[in-house]
Amino acid sequence: MRPIRPGDRGPAVTEIRTVLAGLDLLPPADGAQLDEFDSTTERAVRAFQQSRGLSVDGRVGAETWRALEAARWRLGARTLYHAVPEPLTGEDVRSLQERLLEMGYDAGRADAIYGIRTSRAVAQFQREVGLTPDGACGPHTMNALRRLGRKVVGGRPQWLRESDAIRQSGPTLVGRTVVIDPGHGGTDPGVVVPDGTLRWTEAELVHDLASRLEGRLAASGVRVQLTRGPAPGECLPDTDRAQLANALGADVFISLHTDGHVNPAADGVATYHYGTDNGVTSATGERLAGLVQREIVARTGLRNCGTHAKAWDLLRLTRMPAVRVEVGYLTSPTDRARLVDPRFRDRVVEAIVAAVQRMYFPIERDVPTGSIDVSELRAVVAAGTVVD
Ligand SMILES: [Zn+2]
């Protein structure tokens, strides 16, 4: 189809404007200009494309049209079910997933795709409220959801359910798959800092960290895969990195970055996990982020900049506990001096290995931060005991 573009008029433009207004990207209908693709419409289309990760050209071609179609659905307007091979997508699916997650059902990420995991979560909900557990969300299930209203909220039940699944899988790291994602690469060096005759790039530093982490995890019997080599031809987009981790069936996903800021006084480490502004969060992701953050702070003395929920593609599209760590600021002279020291990088790596191990310890047998001797992990796990 020919893209609908600025200057066009007609019913298709009206439809586009209606969807954009429903998403609060346009002011509500304003009479005469309703069917005209004006500059306000173009700005709204660009904002929409940006928010959906589409190429931003301000025109409505086939891809943007499909995304707008998906965006117009409101929860309850149609029956949702697990369709194969083309799953249903839309804002209504995302609303349902967020609702399920709030109530403690493991619907995976709120990625707006009605996949098998969403279907299972719906079936579990149906079973618990006495409906036929067919995994489809039709009028009866919608009624049950409405009746419950907002009474059932909070991540606790889900936290228990997810961590139960992890607990049942036992404390061993042997045979697990960890995908390590060194950020940037290729034409994108990340943060770059000239330092005398030297030049430090984030892409190189985090690849070194990733290789060290790979070595330590592999020594504990973990299957490790990196998302890129030391000098890739181009920079892999975050969506591809997430898809790679999904395709490998990773148990844990760790993305490594260093931060940068115009103010050289900015320093410290921060860890990010999946979550949205309205409090929906990946419980296991949040737990892993907390462990990574605490272990790194305890073992390296980097300033604690905390853990934060973000809805970034990398965290949203990965289907396993996923974190992104910003290990210090390359633009901070103190952080940089530490990061360029290989012994310091080894301490960072030990902290991350300890955090991954603690993910799999039963809560009641968890150990104090900074107490795991990473070099003895394998023996400790083999003996079935945990250091206190
Ligand atoms: Zn980065």
Fold of the CATH domain 8-72: Muramoyl-pentapeptide Carboxypeptidase; domain 1 (1.10.101)
CA 273 / ligand 1 centre spacing (Å): 15
CA 203 / ligand 1 centre spacing (Å): 8
The pairing of beta strand 269-274 with beta strand 304-310: parallel
CA 228 / ligand 1 centre spacing (Å): 14
CATH of domain 170-372: 3.40.630.40
Residue 244 has a pLDDT of 95
CA 196 / ligand 1 centre spacing (Å): 22
CA 254 / ligand 1 centre spacing (Å): 13
Same fold, 80-147 and 170-372: no
CA 259 / ligand 1 centre spacing (Å): 6
Residue 375 has a pLDDT of 61
Residue 153 has a pLDDT of 42
CATH architecture designation of domain 80-147 = Orthogonal Bundle (1.10)
Residue 110 has a pLDDT of 80
Query: Distance of CA 57 to CAs 21, 36, 47, 156, 375, Å?
Result: 19, 18, 10, 42, 52
CA 183 / ligand 1 centre spacing (Å): 6
Residue 169 has a pLDDT of 67
CA 297 / ligand 1 centre spacing (Å): 19
Query: Distance of CA 87 to CAs 65, 118, 327, Å?
Result: 17, 11, 38
Going from the first residue of the chain to its last (388 residues), give the mean pLDDT of each consecutive group of 10, the final group possibly shorter: 90 89 77 79 91 86 88 85 89 87 77 91 84 91 73 43 59 86 95 88 96 92 93 92 93 96 95 76 83 94 92 86 96 96 95 90 66 60 43
Domain ranges of the chain: 8-72, 80-147, 170-372
Instruction: Kindly report the three-state secondary structure assignment for every residue of 140-168.
Output: HHHHHHHHHCCCCCCCHHHHHHHHHHHHH
CA 284 / ligand 1 centre spacing (Å): 23
